[in-house]
Each structure stands twice: as C-alpha cells, then as structure tokens.
Amino acid sequence: MSSLWPARLSPQAAKTITELPPHAVEMLRDVLDIAGRDPWTWPPMDAGDLEGEDVRAAAVGQLTAVYWINRSAGRLYVVSVVWIG
C-alpha cells in the first residue's frame, strides 16, 4: 500500500487510513504530495525541540499528518494520521 502514497506509512498510519472517509483520504494524499515537494513548508511538531526539526505536522482542517523527513533516503515517513471528524 505504501507504494501508492507519496510517503512511506507507519503501520499505525496505514491502519488509520483504512478507517478514513474517502474525501479525507484524498485530502491526506494531497497534503503529503505538497509535503513531499517541500517538507519544511509545514511547522515542526514541537518548535521548542531544536533537535526535532525533521518531525513535522501537516495540518489542514480536520486532518493532521505527523511525518519525519528522512534526509538520507529523500522521502517522508508518516508516523501518525489524525482525523477529527
């Protein structure tokens, strides 16, 4: 399943995606596509953690995707997906 996404998904994120409504899945795909082009666009998950700059939270409306920027592999790894809906 991860090969169909613009980022690698943790097992928890992949499970959450199966429970999302279709419009939320499309929103997530769009958000991750944008984040994949410029991962530093979204703010750090914890701005106070100077060593955690590669952990970001992409939030749009009711959707938040927490991802880690894997610099050496040149891709994103989605740690968690939250849908408040």
- Could you tell me the residue ranges of all domains in the chain? 2-83
* Global confidence as pTM: 0.83
- The pLDDT tens digits of the residues spanning 44-58 come to 888 888 888 899 999
Mean pLDDT along residues 58-66: 93
Give the per-residue pLDDT at 65: 95
Distance of alpha carbon 38 from alpha carbon 24, whole angstroms:
21
- The pLDDT tens digits of the residues spanning 14-29 come to 999 999 999 999 999 9
CATH fold group of domain 2-83: YaeB-like fold (3.30.2310)
pLDDT over 80 (residue 2): no
